[in-house]
Amino acid sequence: MSQSPSPSRAGGCPIDHSALRAPDGCPVSHNAAAFDPFEDGYQQDPPDYVRWSREQEPVFYSPKLGYWVVTRYADIKAIFRDNLTFSPAIALEKITPTGDEANAVLASYGYAMNRTLVNEDEPAHMPRRRALMEPFTPAELAHHEPMVRQLTREYVDRFIDDGRADLVDQMLWEVPLTVALHFLGVPEEDMDLLRQYSIAHTVNTWGRPKPEEQVAVAHAVGNFWQLAGKILDKMREDPSGPGWMQYGLRKQRELPEVVTDSYLHSMMMAGIVAAHETTANASANAIKLLLQHPDVWREICEDPALIPNAVEECLRHNGSVAAWRRIVTRDTEVGGIALPAGTKLLIVTSSANHDEQHFADADLFDIRRDNASDQLTFGYGSHQCMGKNLARMEMQIFLEELTRRLPHMRLAEQRFTYVPNTSFRGPEHLRVEWDPARNPERNDPSVLSTRASVRIGEPSGHAASRTVVVEHIDPAADGVVRLHLASPDGKALPRWSPGSHIDVECGNTGISRQYSLCGDPANTGAFEIAVLRETESRGGSAWIHDSVRRGDRLKIRGPRNHFRLDEGCRKAIFIAGGIGVTPVSAMARRARELGIDYTFHYCGRSRSAMAMLDELVALHGERLRVHARDAGQRADFAEILGAPDADTQIYACGPARMIEALEAQCAAWPEDALRVEHFVSALGTLDPSKEQPFTVELKDSGLTVEVPAGQTLLAALRGANIDVQSDCEEGLCGSCEVRVLAGDVDHRDVVLTRGEREANNRMMACCSRAARGGKLVLEL
Ligand code: FES
């Protein structure tokens, strides 16, 4: 039932009770009535606090707050996407109106906080955002890395021999504040004072100060406002400096109507808070979360290449922004609930980040999660946090320095407390301890000089490797070995879907090879791969056959799936050629479980060269047909496939000539009937002399990006601070897919089928381009 709130019931419950038939006359459920974001439950764990809502009532009215609350990923993303219907105008409004006395105090300071990047509507917002964006791009941010690292080192130096620290008090607040001031171009004022002011601003805007606290908070906010004004006045005398505010002042000369005085003053104050408080909180949340999972902490200590992904997963699992606010500007609907113009929304982004419908096993803390960067902690679209990549860089550097210098650090016994407010969340203290006698740098000073490179921008799936141990190696057929790979600590491995593969790093050879997973996907105790010694091995299969022994540790990445079984299909024909049996066997096993009507054709040179044969015969019985060439059982694809059938899907993996024969045989079949896995891309390197530049308009972000002839769309988007996931970057995997709203695409991937290409509404950003150098409009 769609509930219709009545905006005319000012001050009371906004729901039109006459339209409802709830037994007690009020449709506000018990949970909704009890919802109180200033309570400890919300502060401690917002996504858990609203789990009931995600599961049962994803859009509800909170009588205590006077807001409608939205908790699911899809609804929140849709709200971010449409900033005209869902205006950010109330994002900085005081969530708890203050009394007359506090208001008078604020007025006495001339407090006039106005529009900023966070709460401004169109058409004013985007021109300002565009004018002020450049210093936030990855290329510009790279200049700040040495300063952040140096500062972090100095702070760690101060407590490294103490054996204990409160990381919030002794590092995580001051370093981001100093970085923020440096980025803004603000001289380093009294840190404690700015910290106090900053907390006061949070409480004033998003908190529920008691009447007696309101006046003190108002004085602090008023002083903060005046200080921001004074700093700005001083900068005006010489705006040639390197900071973002000086950049803004220079832009003001160019675009005085766009970058106004009032805007700069508001941004100065909001910028100090936005640029450091969220980073300080996010860093404290991340370190706390990692230390609460000592095995994960150990993993990133051993392999710092995991840190960028770990940061992203921390931002998803336990980010520093719990919720944002929007106001509805015209009658609309969210999640089936009708909302009239004027409705205020609390959009709980931290809950969206735990939505099972978007993140598999959402409560699991998994630093190899491949869609962690879909998190909404930074928001999305035209109001997405401009400083997100500065925050990511700082968090990576903090983790890199701490894991290297204090890998033996652990959480001290403590209860975590939070500043009560709806939106910004991080522990007020984070007490850690360690044995200084075990500090690695005492024995090995070279620890101080090593460092991992920082990835500015969204992490790439390429970096997230995991270590597995070879439990056993069994001969599986002539020239084929089967490896069982388990987690070294005996823990469960991630679940995988049939068709998935892993990348195996071949020791120090610098080679990495992809192998499909075989065996039972439900078995999380081990990954199984079968490896054929290729006669013309480029090193990968020969290395596995010759060098890998039981008990060895291997580095792998994945599992990833570019070759998915459509579990809704009615009939399937599985065709495996030789070692191509590995993904197909897992698919056929799943089809059997699902009750899909299938046949499984396994082609090979001879039965002795066909891996897994006995177990496949035992599992699939009559449905398995073996085509062993040496027994004269050559596969006849015309007979196997029969007449084209719209209800049948064909899944094939095997040598190129087998796939070519099948493609020819499927010419008359529905276009998407044959599904094959590609491990090799036909893409060459981008040749600027043969390419044309093109333009993309990003509808959700309100930006226009030029893609030069020598650059991919993916690189150009990242250069403009737009997050797009990627994995293979060769047009093979589909992870960089973006939605196309207008324009013709020159598709160069092997992911989309002909029909999908013709529909012209999706493209792979890593390789595809605008046709004939035209213009594309993307849903980004
Ligand atoms: Fe794999 Fe683009 S990143 S298709």
Main-chain dihedrals φ then ψ at residue 285, nearest 5 degrees: -60, -40
Asked if 191 and 282 count as a contact pair (C-beta separation under 8 A), the reply is no
| Confidence band of 4 (pLDDT split at 50, 70, 90) | very low
584/536 Cα distance (integer angstroms): 24
State which ligand 1 atom lies nearest to the alpha carbon of 764.
Answer: 2
| Confidence band of 538 (pLDDT split at 50, 70, 90) | low
Which one, of 292, 297, 321, 376, lies nearest residue 78 by Cα?
376
Full 3-state SS string of 641-701: HCCCCCCEEEEEECCHHHHHHHHHHCCCCCCCCEEECCCCCCCCCCCCCCCCCEEEEECCC
Cα 387 to ligand 1 centroid, rounded to whole Å? 26
Cα 737 to ligand 1 centroid, rounded to whole Å? 7
Tell me, using a 6 A CB cutoff, whether residue 370 lines ligand 1: no
342/69 Cα distance (integer angstroms): 14
Helix 125-132 with 244-254: angle, nearest 10 deg:
120
The 10 Å Cβ neighbour count of residue 47 is 23
635/653 Cα distance (integer angstroms): 14
* Residue 362: both structure tokens together: 């959402």
* Residue 141: both structure tokens together: 């941010």
Cα 578 to ligand 1 centroid, rounded to whole Å? 27
Tell me, using a 6 A CB cutoff, whether residue 727 lines ligand 1: yes
Asked if 780 and 700 count as a contact pair (C-beta separation under 8 A), the reply is yes
Tell me, using a 6 A CB cutoff, whether residue 611 lines ligand 1: no
Tell me, using a 6 A CB cutoff, whether residue 749 lines ligand 1: yes
Helix 307-318 with 294-302: angle, nearest 10 deg:
150
Asked if 612 and 581 count as a contact pair (C-beta separation under 8 A), the reply is yes
* Three-class SS state of 620: helix
Tell me, using a 6 A CB cutoff, whether residue 736 lines ligand 1: yes
* Per-residue pLDDT tens over the stretch 581-640: 999 999 999 999 999 999 999 999 999 999 999 999 999 999 999 999 999 989 999 999
* Residue 251: both structure tokens together: 């832009």
173/339 Cα distance (integer angstroms): 40
Query: CB burial class (10 A; 0-12, 13-18, 19+) of residue 10?
Result: exposed
Cα 735 to ligand 1 centroid, rounded to whole Å? 5
Tell me, using a 6 A CB cutoff, whether residue 726 lines ligand 1: yes
Q: Check residue 80 and report its DSSP letter.
A: H
* Per-residue pLDDT tens over the stretch 336-369: 999 999 999 999 999 999 998 888 888 999 998 8
Q: Is the pLDDT of residue 15 over 90?
A: no
Tell me, using a 6 A CB cutoff, whether residue 202 lines ligand 1: no
Cα 337 to ligand 1 centroid, rounded to whole Å? 37
Cα 9 to ligand 1 centroid, rounded to whole Å? 52
* Per-residue pLDDT tens over the stretch 451-460: 766 777 766 6
Ordered strands of the 674-676 beta sheet: 624-628, 597-604, 571-577, 648-653, 674-676
State which ligand 1 atom lies nearest to the alpha carbon of 727.
Answer: 3
| Confidence band of 6 (pLDDT split at 50, 70, 90) | very low
Length of the chain as a residue count: 780
Cα 576 to ligand 1 centroid, rounded to whole Å? 25
- Sequence-ordered list of residues with C-beta below 8 angstroms from that of 88, at least 6 positions apart, any chain: 118, 119, 120, 121, 324, 325, 326, 383
* Per-residue pLDDT tens over the stretch 555-587: 898 888 878 899 899 999 999 999 999 999 999
* Per-residue pLDDT tens over the stretch 474-520: 999 999 999 999 998 888 888 888 999 998 988 877 777 889 999 88
Q: Is the pLDDT of residue 13 over 70?
A: no
> Which pLDDT belongs to residue 288?
97
* Residue 585: both structure tokens together: 């066997």
126, 594, 641, 722 from 84: Cα distances, Å: 12, 45, 53, 20
The single residue listed with the structure tokens 């993916």 is 714
* Per-residue pLDDT tens over the stretch 281-332: 999 999 999 999 999 999 999 888 889 999 999 999 999 999 999 999 999 9
State which ligand 1 atom lies nearest to the alpha carbon of 751.
Answer: 4
* Per-residue pLDDT tens over the stretch 399-414: 999 999 999 999 999 9
Cα 752 to ligand 1 centroid, rounded to whole Å? 11
Cα 695 to ligand 1 centroid, rounded to whole Å? 20
* Per-residue pLDDT tens over the stretch 656-673: 899 999 999 999 998 889
Tell me, using a 6 A CB cutoff, whether residue 728 lines ligand 1: yes
* Per-residue pLDDT tens over the stretch 16-57: 544 444 444 457 889 999 999 988 889 889 999 999 999 999
* Per-residue pLDDT tens over the stretch 413-446: 999 998 888 888 999 999 999 999 999 999 888 8
Tell me, using a 6 A CB cutoff, whether residue 768 lines ligand 1: no
Q: Is the pLDDT of residue 681 over 90?
A: no
> Which pLDDT belongs to residue 317?
97
Q: Which of 601-605, 651-655, 664-668, 749-753 has the lowest mean pLDDT?
A: 749-753
> Which pLDDT belongs to residue 9?
41
Main-chain dihedrals φ then ψ at residue 432, nearest 5 degrees: -125, 160
β-bridge partners, 738:
763
Q: What is the pTM of this model?
A: 0.76
* Three-class SS state of 504: strand
* Residue 249: both structure tokens together: 């002042």
Domains of the chain: 100-112+119-438 (1.10.630.10), 465-560 (2.40.30.10), 571-677 (3.40.50.80), 688-778 (3.10.20.30)
Alpha carbon 25 to chain centroid, angstroms: 42
Count Cα neighbours of 388 within 13 Å in the Cβ-side half-sphere: 25
767/727 Cα distance (integer angstroms): 12
> Which pLDDT belongs to residue 375?
94
Secondary structure E strands in 24-85: 59-62, 67-70
Q: Check residue 112 and report its DSSP letter.
A: -
Asked if 629 and 606 count as a contact pair (C-beta separation under 8 A), the reply is yes
- Bond into 242 cis (ω within 30): no
Asked if 379 and 76 count as a contact pair (C-beta separation under 8 A), the reply is no
Ordered strands of the 164-166 beta sheet: 164-166, 431-433, 410-411
Tell me, using a 6 A CB cutoff, whether residue 312 lines ligand 1: no
* Per-residue pLDDT tens over the stretch 73-124: 999 999 998 989 999 988 877 777 788 888 899 899 888 877 777 788 888 8
Tell me, using a 6 A CB cutoff, whether residue 764 lines ligand 1: yes
The 10 Å Cβ neighbour count of residue 686 is 14
Q: What is the mean pLDDT of the chain?
A: 88
> Which pLDDT belongs to residue 468?
94
